[in-house]
A and B are shown apart, each in its own frame.
Chain A
């Protein structure tokens, strides 16, 4: 439960001390202290990974990785942002790529250096089992790598901390595209509907609706059948 009080706390942003309201998130606290984000702020809602932030608290050696927009400030936080994670995302033609057990090693051979040290998992602000999905990729298990990496925002914290210099989120992205396109494959009824549209099956009906007067549309709309579960 979040205590609501009017107290202030001291935080250190890139070494500079600021006194800020205790109930702010790191992001809002930095703005309160006068910083305007250009880098380091994106969706502000925990979905894009732009605000990857690391901090230690006075009295603890532990280095924490969080999203600045989703973490409340605490007394003694020593904060730095990592708005960019350098990596070479390998390019490929998704229609021609081979989806097999060796694909990951082909594009990202460095995953063989994985030490299974779990530092990536500890760094992840989304509680993803990063080591496990890298290991799954190492063994060529596309489905498991895709499933485990799904909630990844690509914030970059795992890559910055990995001692083997792997960039897990690039591997995860490849796994998910391969899983959907090649392991699961396209959905029958979607393809079927596309064909029907191409053959103009619904054109007349829609043409009639386009031409209909507002009164007619209103009637149709209000009396339409609703079949939802």
Chain B
């Protein structure tokens, strides 16, 4: 039995000792939550969203005037990947009632619900640019919110959501979110999701940042994995049509000004296909791989904001893209896992954010934007932080406190993913705290929808992270897992209803030409093209010597 050797370098040991020493005095204590004024102040001073030089005004399209991060503006103010004259729209490769673009939680549940609402399995085509189910959905750890206990109800949930979102949320969408929530849990149970339960059979529910009740349902800290893989299993059971490693590069419209499908791109064969559909659902997820302000991200490989670009080209309205969520506890050490998510559930179960001196410095469950700003302040203004060997500033998240609060064995039982993922790098989070710093996490805004997931463009529906209006300017923990299933299911139903009465006109890509004109009229001369589909991570040498021969 080898003795545990610290996973951290020698120069951090002094601070680690302070954290260990202060643990007993911190036990049972909480830092005072901020007042509304304090919250506003800290956001304005430290939140990345409030750095004006990092954003610019969107100059084209129905939502021009919105102040958005450069990286997002770069993909929106960009030309289409394809030239209409190079695309033969007359040969239709896939002619379906419903095209779903993106196969995460939202897309998969849309497919299932559309099928249940009358669309034949072979009249649905779900395309996914990676493997089915590979999405941010699978990576969620801590939980899914639903107000289903006796001391809670959807109205209380509503208030949490709208307050956390800084009152910028669309009321209809919040209503849909909180009222559908218990039904989503019921649906998941009927499909066979293994939620954490108490010994008496009731749901084990914890609190998240900004929630006023315990309403986070979890499946250890593999919540996203469990929910996605069950829904994926069901999707396959229904034998619904799908194609992997196939992206959409732009939506197709028709002469009735509806969205009528998309130009698909097979990543492996490098060929395009034409998909015509009566209803199209965009469930393309978020934009973490744009690395806004150079931040590392929790997001999966394909999170490149494709959906907002494609929707915008058809004239769909966007909202709240001025707001980006940074998750407070992204891993900061070791370098190999920088940016990866350490679930908020850790704090929900007692882990305390602690500075270099081993002191509490913030209430552990402020809404995410406030919590992140607070860590940034602790590092950059107060210098009460550690600096990793690669120069990253970070604070401690005292995970051993979880065992102290809930008893030994808690982490092994409830945080299997975190325990495993840090053990791989020599850090036992039961014995030592984690080093954390905010990481780029969630696209708060996006394509605007109504409660039926309709956009302002007929035939186009959106569900999941690609949408705006559900979470306002800041999403609470566990509401994204909820969002994707609430609106994924609604999109499936709405798209099915629409498909029954819709009919496609003559297919066109004129809107792409219109987009080029928008750029020209705004004086934007660029060789940028979008959607970018995958981020560029290849080494410098390769990029400088690229050659297309075969």
Residues of A near any B CB (own CB < 8 A): 1-2, 4, 23-25, 28, 31-39, 41-48, 50, 70-72, 89, 91-95, 126-127, 146, 150-151, 153-154, 173, 176-181, 184, 186-191, 193-194, 197, 201-202, 205-206, 209-211, 214, 217-218, 220-222, 224-229
Contacts and interface: CB of A to CB of B under 8 A. Distances in A.
27 contacts: A1-B6, A2-B7, A28-B336, A34-B538, A38-B268, A39-B268, A42-B300, A45-B300, A47-B225, A48-B133, A92-B237, A150-B194, A150-B416, A151-B416, A173-B229, A177-B230, A190-B182, A190-B185, A190-B189, A194-B183, A197-B182, A202-B153, A209-B162, A214-B167, A217-B159, A217-B163, A228-B211
Given A70-B424, A126-B420, A180-B192, A189 B202 contact: yes
Given A176-B226, A190-B182, A194-B186, 7 more contacts: A43-B301, A44-B301, A46-B424, A47-B139, A48-B139, A91-B237, A186-B190
B155 A202 contact: yes
A34 B151 contact: no
B179 A206 contact: yes
Interface in B163-221: 163, 167, 171-172, 174-175, 178-179, 182-183, 185-186, 189-195, 197, 201-203, 206-207, 211-214, 220
Contact of B192 (A34, A178, A222): A178
A189 B236 CA distance: 30
Interface stretch (B142-150, B312-320, B375-383, B496-504): B142-150
Interface in B412-428: 416-417, 420-421, 424-426
Given A45-B139, A46-B421, A28 B158 contact: no
Contacts of B335: 2, 4, 23
Interface of B: 5-9, 36, 130-131, 133-134, 136, 138-139, 146-151, 153-156, 158-160, 162-163, 167, 171-172, 174-175, 178-179, 182-183, 185-186, 189-195, 197, 201-203, 206-207, 211-214, 220, 222, 224-226, 229-230, 233-234, 236-239, 245, 267-268, 298, 300-301, 334-337, 340-341, 365, 389-390, 416-417, 420-421, 424-426, 534, 536-539, 541-542
Determine which residue in B146, B236, B300, B389 has the highest number of CB atoms from chain A within 10 A of its CB, and name it.
B300
Determine which residue in A35, A178, A189 has the highest number of CB atoms from chain B within 10 A of its CB, and name it.
A189
Contacts of B148: 189-190, 193-194
A128 B416 CA distance: 11
Nearest to A209: B158
B138 A229 contact: no
Contacts of B268: 38-39
A121 B222 CA distance: 20
Contact of A218 (B167, B389, B390): B167
Contact of A43 (B134, B192, B226): B134
Given A2-B336, A34-B542, A209 B159 contact: yes
